Every structure is written in structure tokens, then in C-alpha cells.
Amino acid sequence: MFDELPLLPPDPILGLLSRFRADPREGKIDLGVGVYQDEEGRTPVMRAVREAEARLLDTQTTKTYLGIAGDPEFNTRMLGMLLGDDHAALKDGRIHGVQTTGGCGALRIGAEVIRRARPAARVWVSTPTWANHMPLIGGSGLQILEYPYYDPSTHGVDFGAMMSALEKVPAGDVVLLHGCCHNPTGADLTLAQWKELTALALRAGFTPYIDTAYQGLADGVDEDVAGMRHMMSEVPECVLAASCSKNFGIYRERAGGVYFLAANRERAEAVLSNAMAAARQIWSMPPAHGAAVVAHILGDATLRADWLAELAEVRGRIAAMRELLARSLAGNGAGIDFGFVTQQKGMFSFLGITPAQVTRLREEFGVYMLDSTRINVAGITPRNIDPLASALHAVLAGAAA
Ligand code: LMR
């Protein structure tokens, strides 16, 4: 049976993590997978998460099945966090969804429901986009096409090219957007651009499919999703896939959710029934623990405040590392001004160096980043900045065009 199966290459992100872990060098630096690290290079369990886990363990009385849609409190509180409690879509009862196995599960169930609703719909993704978007969404059978997004010459969004391309997307197709902290570039849309894009979605008739995995890691839990909230208050239909991995730091617990905005209550119920049927076919129901922790934190004023405070520390540290990196790379031999790193949002930036430089950094200096030159800024610490900057200066030396 397995004779014809080819040996596949490792995953571009998680494969790099395995290589990093297998590297025996003491001073190796991980700027690969999107996982937060503190000043000491550790990925801590957040204070509120630790406290919620202790309470849950103490009070848990059963391990019986959750429903297919997961924990109803989790879904309600997630929607409150994502949209704001007084969002019109919530008041109108037009949005429902299911708890999922992290953001990946959310994206896959989202795609499965889109395929059930409109098998011929094509999904347009930004160039570039997160490496796993294609397999996750394409794996459901939907065709994927790309629209221009990042301009390497400005290190920002090429909004003109993006809008011109999306003008031509036919009604009934789907456009995948990053809610905030674009992965892999860190280049985000402004609120004004979200508003223009919303008007275009209404005019063109495509359905937005928003992936939000980094809410709270740029400017604040509400600030980061202002554009997405605006769009979802205007468009008749939308799919929203959310992850709790990064903003709650519960990566391995696999907590997330996918929520479907429909034209009215009755349609929203029908979509939910299809999301539940899709989930039942894939994993039956999601794991309980991570989502229970999130639901507990969001439902407890003290824990929520502490979580928000720690999240503010996290984004403050990332912003400080952006400044430090840009300063440390001043005067490099390639003459690149890395000031753009301070303008980008969330965990990631594209360094824009050459593939040969990426390889040399990894092999000679033990500095790991994705081949695309995406770095996880949260992997930079006051301890590793000097060796990191020396390695970057070394590979950039004499590289000026
Ligand atoms: C990343 O982009 O590094 C993270 O979202 C982890 C992953 O699953 O790829």
C-alpha cells in the first residue's frame, strides 16, 4: 500500500524547529517558529493561565464529552473578545461558530464550510502569506489564488496593487485577510485601508475570510482588530478564524475557534450546523483544556485584567526588541536601513536578505530564520542581541550592491 508514497520535505516552519532543537551548539538563536520568548529566552506559562489551570483542576468533576461545537462559554467569550461585546453582529444573532483545535483547526473548518456552501469558490490569499494557509485551506479542495500584498522595496503593504487585484475578484469568491500582525511580513493595513477594503468587498461581492492569530500583540486587544471589527459590521457574510495560541501563550493546548457571520439568524444557524457536521467528520469535538482556560480568564475580571497586563508586557518587549535590532544593525556593510522593522507589527518581520545569507546565518552562526527571511522578533533577547547582530553584520559585510 505504501510503496508509491514519496518522502515529503519537512514542514517549512515546524521542520526548522526540529532542526533548531537538534542543533547541539550552545549559543544557537531561534528566530523561526512564531512562539514568544521572554528576556531569558523562555516561553513562559502566563500568570493568568497558571491560575486558571489551578482553579480548573481543583473544581473539575468530569471528563465527559464536550459537544461538537465545544464549550459554549468559550465561544461566547471569544466572540466578545474578537468583536467587542456590543458588536452589531452579536446583537443581531448573525454570528455563530465552533471551538477548534487551534487556529489551524479553525482555518480548516472554515474552508470545509466554504466548500460545502460554494465548491467553486476560489480563495485569494496575500503574497506572501503564512506557509500553512495553502495546505490547510487547499486541503479542503478549494482552489487558491494570490493577490499582491507586500512590497519589498518599501517593506510595507502595496495597497494600490492589492486593491487593483481585488477589484477583479468575482462575486462569490473568498479573500483571506490577516486580522492583524500579518504573518510573515508584519506589514498591516491601517484602519483607513480596512475601510476602503470593506467598501470594495461590498461592491465586488467577495466574502472576507479573516485569520486572526495575534490579537493583542501589536497595539492592544481592541486596537489590533479595529479594522476587522469595522469590516464585520458592514459586510453581510464573513468567516473569522481565531487562535488562542499566541495571545494566551497556550500553543500546545490547541485552542481556537471559527465563527461565521451570515445574512440573518436563520442562515447563521444553518451555517453552524454545517460547521458542526464538518468538525464531527474530522475530530468529532475539540480538546477541552485550553479553551476552558481561556473561557475562565475571559469570564473572571481579575484574571482578565492580569492577562491583559501581561499581554501588554509581551508586546512592549517585542516593540523594544524591534528598536534594539534596528539600532544594532545600523552601519551594516550592505547599507540596508533596518528601521522598517520598528514599523512592522506583531511577532514577525521580513529581513529581506538573500537566501545564501539565511543559510550562512544558520550553518555558520546557529541563527535560525525561515528561508523567506521571516524572523520571529520575539526570539530576540538582550542576551542574544550581540551575537545575533555580529552574525548579521558578518553576513551583510561587503554585500552592498
Ligand atoms: C508560525 O507561523 O510560526 C506559527 O503560526 C506556528 C506554525 O504553526 O506555523
- The pLDDT tens digits of the residues spanning 118-143 come to 999 999 999 999 999 999 999 999 99
3-state SS class at 112: helix
Closest CA to 212 of 236, 162, 246: 246
Q: Residue 211 catalytic?
A: yes
Ligand 1 centre to CA of 374 (Å) is 11
Residue nearest to atom 5 of ligand 1 (CA): 34
Res. 400: pLDDT tops 60: no
Q: What is the pLDDT of residues 233-285, one digit of tens each?
A: 999 999 999 999 999 999 999 999 999 999 999 999 999 999 999 999 999 99
pTM of the model: 0.96
Share of the chain above pLDDT 70, in %: 99
DSSP string, 183-241: TTT-----HHHHHHHHHHHHHH-PEEEEEES-TTSSS-TTGGGHHHHHHHHH-S-EEEE
What is the CATH number that goes with domain 65-299?
A: 3.40.640.10
Catalytic residue of the set 30, 71, 124, 130: 130
> For 8-149, where are the alpha helices, taking DSSP H only?
14-22, 47-59, 72-83, 88-91, 102-117, 133-138
Class for the domain spanning 12-43+317-400? alpha beta
CB of 13 sitting under 6 A from ligand 1: yes
Task: Map out the domains of the chain as residue ranges.
Answer: 12-43+317-400, 65-299
CB of 130 sitting under 6 A from ligand 1: yes
**pLDDT for residue 398:** 65
Res. 401: pLDDT tops 70: no
How much is the mean pLDDT over the chain? 96
Torsion angle defined by CA atoms of residues 192, 207, 257 and 126, in that order, rounded to the nearest 10 degrees: -60
Q: Which residue has 490579537 as its cell numbers?
A: 215
Q: Which residue has 510595507 as its cell numbers?
A: 156
Catalytic residue of the set 158, 211, 307, 345: 211
Task: Specify whether the CB–CB gap between 145 and 122 falls below 8 A.
Answer: yes
